[in-house]
Amino acid sequence: MKLLYTREEIEKRTREVGKQISKDHQGKDLLIIGVLKGCVMWLSHLLIEIEGNTEIDFMTVSSYMRGTESGELKLVQDLDTVVKNRDVLIVEDIVDTGKTLKYVYEYLKSRGARSIEIATFVNKMQRRQLNDLPEVKYIAFEYDEPEFLIGYGFDYKQRYRNLPAVYKMEESDFWDKE
Protein backbone atom coordinates (compact mmCIF):
# COMPACT_ATOMS: atom_id res chain seq x y z
CA MET A 1 0.00 0.00 0.00
CA LYS A 2 1.13 3.53 -0.69
CA LEU A 3 0.06 6.46 1.48
CA LEU A 4 -2.16 8.91 -0.40
CA TYR A 5 -3.69 11.24 2.25
CA THR A 6 -2.30 11.56 5.77
CA ARG A 7 -4.49 11.91 8.83
CA GLU A 8 -3.38 15.55 9.14
CA GLU A 9 -4.29 16.33 5.51
CA ILE A 10 -7.68 14.69 6.01
CA GLU A 11 -8.36 16.68 9.19
CA LYS A 12 -7.40 19.96 7.50
CA ARG A 13 -9.63 19.38 4.47
CA THR A 14 -12.50 18.18 6.68
CA ARG A 15 -12.33 21.44 8.70
CA GLU A 16 -12.35 23.47 5.48
CA VAL A 17 -15.31 21.59 3.98
CA GLY A 18 -17.22 21.78 7.28
CA LYS A 19 -16.65 25.52 7.46
CA GLN A 20 -17.98 25.99 3.91
CA ILE A 21 -21.06 23.83 4.59
CA SER A 22 -21.73 25.85 7.77
CA LYS A 23 -21.46 29.13 5.90
CA ASP A 24 -23.69 27.99 3.03
CA HIS A 25 -26.39 26.55 5.31
CA GLN A 26 -26.45 29.19 8.02
CA GLY A 27 -29.94 29.45 9.46
CA LYS A 28 -31.19 26.31 7.68
CA ASP A 29 -32.46 23.11 9.24
CA LEU A 30 -30.08 20.77 7.39
CA LEU A 31 -30.77 17.05 7.04
CA ILE A 32 -27.50 15.21 6.47
CA ILE A 33 -27.82 11.78 4.91
CA GLY A 34 -24.83 9.49 5.07
CA VAL A 35 -24.50 6.74 2.50
CA LEU A 36 -23.24 3.70 4.42
CA LYS A 37 -20.88 2.10 5.08
CA GLY A 38 -18.02 4.05 3.60
CA CYS A 39 -19.08 7.51 4.79
CA VAL A 40 -18.95 6.71 8.51
CA MET A 41 -15.39 7.85 9.22
CA TRP A 42 -15.55 11.08 7.23
CA LEU A 43 -19.12 11.95 8.22
CA SER A 44 -18.38 11.55 11.93
CA HIS A 45 -15.47 13.99 11.66
CA LEU A 46 -17.29 16.32 9.28
CA LEU A 47 -20.29 16.64 11.62
CA ILE A 48 -18.06 18.04 14.35
CA GLU A 49 -16.96 20.80 11.95
CA ILE A 50 -20.47 21.82 10.85
CA GLU A 51 -22.03 24.61 12.89
CA GLY A 52 -25.77 25.08 13.09
CA ASN A 53 -28.86 22.94 13.31
CA THR A 54 -28.39 19.53 11.72
CA GLU A 55 -30.15 16.20 11.77
CA ILE A 56 -28.60 13.00 10.46
CA ASP A 57 -29.91 9.81 8.96
CA PHE A 58 -28.36 6.97 7.01
CA MET A 59 -29.16 4.80 4.07
CA THR A 60 -27.31 1.85 2.66
CA VAL A 61 -27.05 1.31 -1.07
CA SER A 62 -24.89 -1.59 -2.10
CA SER A 63 -23.12 -1.73 -5.44
CA TYR A 64 -19.83 -3.54 -4.85
CA MET A 65 -20.44 -7.24 -5.15
CA ARG A 66 -16.96 -8.73 -5.49
CA GLY A 67 -14.14 -6.65 -4.07
CA THR A 68 -13.62 -3.83 -6.57
CA GLU A 69 -16.23 -4.63 -9.24
CA SER A 70 -19.35 -2.48 -9.30
CA GLY A 71 -22.55 -4.51 -9.51
CA GLU A 72 -26.25 -3.73 -9.66
CA LEU A 73 -27.53 -1.25 -7.07
CA LYS A 74 -29.70 -2.40 -4.22
CA LEU A 75 -31.32 -0.36 -1.42
CA VAL A 76 -30.32 -2.25 1.71
CA GLN A 77 -31.37 0.25 4.41
CA ASP A 78 -33.91 3.03 3.95
CA LEU A 79 -34.16 6.30 5.86
CA ASP A 80 -36.13 6.75 9.06
CA THR A 81 -36.55 10.49 8.43
CA VAL A 82 -39.10 12.24 6.24
CA VAL A 83 -37.24 14.27 3.61
CA LYS A 84 -40.21 16.09 2.09
CA ASN A 85 -39.61 19.87 2.05
CA ARG A 86 -36.20 19.48 3.71
CA ASP A 87 -32.79 20.83 2.73
CA VAL A 88 -30.69 17.70 2.31
CA LEU A 89 -26.94 17.14 2.16
CA ILE A 90 -25.86 13.74 0.87
CA VAL A 91 -22.50 12.69 2.32
CA GLU A 92 -20.58 10.08 0.32
CA ASP A 93 -17.18 8.54 0.87
CA ILE A 94 -16.38 8.52 -2.84
CA VAL A 95 -18.06 9.51 -6.07
CA ASP A 96 -16.60 7.01 -8.49
CA THR A 97 -18.77 5.65 -11.31
CA GLY A 98 -21.59 7.95 -10.21
CA LYS A 99 -24.20 5.19 -10.12
CA THR A 100 -24.76 5.23 -6.35
CA LEU A 101 -24.91 9.02 -6.20
CA LYS A 102 -27.42 9.20 -9.05
CA TYR A 103 -29.56 6.52 -7.39
CA VAL A 104 -29.56 8.28 -4.00
CA TYR A 105 -30.15 11.72 -5.53
CA GLU A 106 -33.12 10.54 -7.60
CA TYR A 107 -34.51 8.64 -4.62
CA LEU A 108 -34.42 11.74 -2.38
CA LYS A 109 -35.84 13.91 -5.15
CA SER A 110 -38.76 11.49 -5.55
CA ARG A 111 -39.38 11.75 -1.79
CA GLY A 112 -39.85 15.53 -2.09
CA ALA A 113 -36.62 17.06 -0.77
CA ARG A 114 -36.69 20.86 -1.16
CA SER A 115 -33.00 21.00 -2.03
CA ILE A 116 -30.28 18.38 -2.39
CA GLU A 117 -26.56 19.05 -2.26
CA ILE A 118 -23.68 16.60 -2.25
CA ALA A 119 -20.47 16.33 -0.24
CA THR A 120 -17.87 13.70 -0.96
CA PHE A 121 -14.62 12.78 0.68
CA VAL A 122 -13.05 11.79 -2.66
CA ASN A 123 -14.22 12.72 -6.14
CA LYS A 124 -12.78 10.21 -8.60
CA MET A 125 -13.58 11.26 -12.19
CA GLN A 126 -11.42 8.58 -13.84
CA ARG A 127 -14.11 5.87 -13.59
CA ARG A 128 -17.16 8.10 -14.05
CA GLN A 129 -19.82 6.32 -16.11
CA LEU A 130 -22.60 8.91 -15.99
CA ASN A 131 -22.49 12.37 -17.55
CA ASP A 132 -25.77 13.66 -16.10
CA LEU A 133 -24.84 13.64 -12.43
CA PRO A 134 -25.90 16.46 -10.13
CA GLU A 135 -23.11 18.80 -9.06
CA VAL A 136 -20.88 17.59 -6.26
CA LYS A 137 -20.62 20.86 -4.34
CA TYR A 138 -18.30 19.91 -1.48
CA ILE A 139 -15.18 17.89 -2.26
CA ALA A 140 -12.42 17.12 0.21
CA PHE A 141 -10.08 15.54 -2.36
CA GLU A 142 -9.94 15.04 -6.12
CA TYR A 143 -8.30 11.82 -7.26
CA ASP A 144 -8.08 10.65 -10.85
CA GLU A 145 -5.86 7.59 -10.83
CA PRO A 146 -7.05 4.00 -11.38
CA GLU A 147 -5.81 2.58 -8.07
CA PHE A 148 -8.31 1.28 -5.55
CA LEU A 149 -8.36 3.26 -2.29
CA ILE A 150 -8.53 1.88 1.25
CA GLY A 151 -8.57 3.35 4.73
CA TYR A 152 -10.57 6.07 6.48
CA GLY A 153 -13.83 4.34 5.56
CA PHE A 154 -12.77 2.86 2.21
CA ASP A 155 -12.64 -0.91 2.21
CA TYR A 156 -11.48 -3.90 0.25
CA LYS A 157 -13.79 -6.85 0.96
CA GLN A 158 -14.99 -5.11 4.16
CA ARG A 159 -11.43 -4.74 5.52
CA TYR A 160 -9.20 -1.68 6.10
CA ARG A 161 -11.99 0.84 6.86
CA ASN A 162 -10.38 1.58 10.22
CA LEU A 163 -7.04 2.83 8.88
CA PRO A 164 -6.50 6.48 9.97
CA ALA A 165 -5.23 7.57 6.53
CA VAL A 166 -6.01 6.77 2.88
CA TYR A 167 -3.84 4.40 0.87
CA LYS A 168 -3.64 3.27 -2.73
CA MET A 169 -3.75 -0.50 -3.08
CA GLU A 170 -1.09 -2.07 -5.24
CA GLU A 171 -1.57 -5.29 -7.20
CA SER A 172 0.22 -7.29 -4.50
CA ASP A 173 -2.28 -6.07 -1.86
CA PHE A 174 -5.27 -7.84 -3.45
CA TRP A 175 -6.26 -11.35 -2.44
CA ASP A 176 -8.85 -13.76 -3.91
CA LYS A 177 -8.67 -12.16 -7.36
CA GLU A 178 -11.36 -14.45 -8.77
Catalytic residues: 96
Query: Exposed/middle/buried for 91, CB within 10 Å: 0-12, 13-18, 19+?
Result: buried
Quote the Cα angle for 73-79-81, to 5°.
Answer: 155
Measured from the Cβ of residue 33, the count of other Cβ atoms closer than 10 Å reads: 26
How many Cβ atoms from other residues are within 10 Å of residue 129's Cβ?
Answer: 11
Note whether 174 and 156 are within 8 A (CB): yes
Residues 141/122, Cβ–Cβ less than 8 Å: yes
User: Which DSSP string corresponds to 23-76?
Assistant: HHTTT--EEEEEEETTTHHHHHHHHHH--S-EEEEEEEEEEEEETTEEEEEEEE
